[in-house]
Structure 1
Amino acid sequence: MKITQLRNATIIVELGPYRILVDPMLAPMGTLPALKLGGGRERNPTVGLPPGWSAMLDTVTHCLVTHCQKGHFDHLDRAGKRWLRERDIPVICTPHDAGYLRGRGLNVQPLASSEHASQPFLGGRVTTVPCRHGRGAVALLMEHGVGYFLEMPGEPSLYLSGDTILTPRVLDFVARHQPDVCVVPAGGARFDLGQEIIMNAQDVVSLLGVAKGTVVANHLEALSHCPVTRSELLAAAQEAGLGERLRVPDDGATLAFTCDARVKIPA
């Protein structure tokens, strides 16, 4: 299995013959709205896509969307929808999101069930895991999507958490299933008011204390409301003595994983 970090939460997962694009935000730098009214009013994304990104996308066979409604352009923006539509890429999502995505002209192939139980997925199995995209009043404004736990023959198991804070349900799922690889959002995103809406550095450290596999952190250094930096996150994990199992890839970097090693080596 290989994971290529494009930008923010957008990655390409290589599993056997499949190249799965996850949560495509493909807009040029600075062409999307700011996400804060006070400090951090910079327009988004705050960085461009990495060199060679177009060639990376040319390999994509499928798309997987964790959440897309209520204006969450950082996981599926207009440029991403246009790219998917022009290439008729099969878009896999929950039944909840199927109608919304069909209305945007996409080739939607929803999962068979909304139940959080194992079901068929590209020759393997997928289990959805509920997300909690914030706490308190701000959570009422958010779209609470799902994470995906992918189990494919001959490949490491992979948990794509989607946008979520660190909840007891997420911790319990990781403790019980022990994915070989977890991909989690670590930018500590928050608006002008309210609490964080995704994990922060200490949340990732807490997850590392439960997970036995590798944790890959993204959703970093690409949006104006995400203050956590890669260096801060790595330092927090090292201070806790857990840095060996954390990967924080730069945009454009590819990580390779095997079934027989808990500590993985970058490609």
Structure 2
Amino acid sequence: MKITQLRNATAIIELGPYRILVDPMLAPKDALPALKFGGGRARNPTVDLPQTSEALLDGVTHCLITHCQKGHFDHLDRAGKRWLRERGIPVICTPHDADYLRGRGLNVQPLASSAHAPQPFLRGQVTTVPCRHGRGAVALLMEHGVGYFIEMPGEPTLYLSGDTILTPRVADFVARRQPDVCLVPAGGARFDLGHEIIMNAEEVMRLMRVTTGSVVANHLEALSHCPVTRRELVIAARAAGVAERLWVPGDGETVSFTRIVEGSGIILLHSS
């Protein structure tokens, strides 16, 4: 399995013959509205896509959407919709999002069920895990979406959390299923009022205490309401003694994970 970070929550996950684009925000720098009133009302995204993005996108076979309604342009913007529509890329989503995406002219291939139980996914299976996109009053305004636990033959298991804070349900799922790799948002996004709407550095460290696998952090340094930096996250991981299991890829960077089965039947995870 390879995970290539493009920008913010947009990534490409390579699983066997599939290259899955997650939550495409493809607009150029400053093309989208500000998300806070303070800080000079900086427009978004605050950085451009990496120069290699066009080449990286060329091989995409599928798209996977965690959430997209109620104005969540940082997970599917107009440029992302246009790119998917022009290429006819199959877009996998929950039944909840299917009609919305069809209305945008996309090639929608929704999951069979909205139940949070294993169901077919490409050559493997997927389980959806409910997200909680914030707490308190601000959560009432958010689209909560789902995360995906993906199991593919011969590949490490992957929990793609989607935009969520660390809820008891998320922590319990990770503790029980012990994904080989968790891909989680870590930018601590928040508006002018209210609490964080995704994990911050402290919550990522708490997540790492309930999993023995690797954690890949994204949703960093690309939106004006995400204050956590990559450097802060790495420093927190060193202080918590978990730095060897945390990956914080830069935009355009790829991290690889391989499942190796030894003669004893013990499965090891090699990462690079």
Whether 1:173 aligns to 2:173 is yes
**TM-score normalised by structure 2 residue count:** 0.96
Deviation of 1:265 after TM superposition, in Å, equals: 3.0
**Which residue matches 1:134?**
134
| In 1: Cα distance, 2:213 partner to 2:72 partner | 29
**Which residue matches 2:237?**
237
Whether 1:91 aligns to 2:91 is yes
Deviations 1:199-225 (A, max 9, x none): 000100001111111000000000000
**TM-score normalised by structure 1 residue count:** 0.98
Q: How does 1:52-67 map to 2 (within 5 A)?
A: 52-67=52-67
Deviation of 1:39 after TM superposition, in Å, equals: 2.4
| Aligned partners of 2:63 and 2:90 also within 8 Å | yes
Whether 1:30 aligns to 2:36 is no
| Aligned partners of 1:128 and 1:146 also within 8 Å | yes
| In 1: Cα distance, 2:80 partner to 2:13 partner | 16
Deviations 1:214-237 (A, max 9, x none): 000000000000000000001001
- What amino acid maps onto 2:194 in structure 1? G
| In 2: Cα distance, 1:243 partner to 1:130 partner | 27
Deviation of 1:262 after TM superposition, in Å, equals: 5.2
**Which residue matches 1:222?**
222
**Which residue matches 1:104?**
104
- What amino acid maps onto 1:185 in structure 2? P
Look up the SS of the partner of 2:244 in the other structure: helix
| In 1: Cα distance, 2:48 partner to 2:94 partner | 29
- What amino acid maps onto 1:95 in structure 2? P
Whether 1:265 aligns to 2:267 is no
| Aligned partners of 2:156 and 2:269 also within 8 Å | no
**Which residue matches 1:207?**
207
Identity across matched positions, percent:
79
Look up the SS of the partner of 2:148 in the other structure: strand
**Which residue matches 2:162?**
162
- What amino acid maps onto 1:130 in structure 2? P
| In 2: Cα distance, 1:192 partner to 1:200 partner | 16
| In 1: Cα distance, 2:205 partner to 2:18 partner | 31
- What amino acid maps onto 1:265 in structure 2? S
| In 1: Cα distance, 2:233 partner to 2:141 partner | 27
Q: Check 1:237–1:121 CA distance in 2 against 1; reply closer, same or farther (3 A cut).
A: same
| Aligned partners of 2:259 and 2:269 also within 8 Å | no
- What amino acid maps onto 2:271 in structure 1? I
Where does structure 2 lack aligned partners over 5 or more consecutive residues? 261-266
**Which residue matches 2:121?**
121
How many residue pairs end up in the alignment? 266
Look up the SS of the partner of 1:140 in the other structure: helix
- What amino acid maps onto 1:113 in structure 2? S
Deviations 1:22-73 (A, max 9, x none): 0000000000000001226110000000011001000000000000000000
Q: Check 1:202–1:182 CA distance in 2 against 1; reply closer, same or farther (3 A cut).
A: same
Look up the SS of the partner of 1:111 in the other structure: coil
| In 1: Cα distance, 2:131 partner to 2:252 partner | 26
Whether 1:69 aligns to 2:35 is no
Question: CA RMSD for the aligned pairs?
Answer: 0.9
| In 1: Cα distance, 2:10 partner to 2:26 partner | 8
**Which residue matches 1:51?**
51
Look up the SS of the partner of 1:117 in the other structure: coil
- What amino acid maps onto 1:179 in structure 2? P
Deviations 1:140-176 (A, max 9, x none): 1000100000000000000000000000000000000
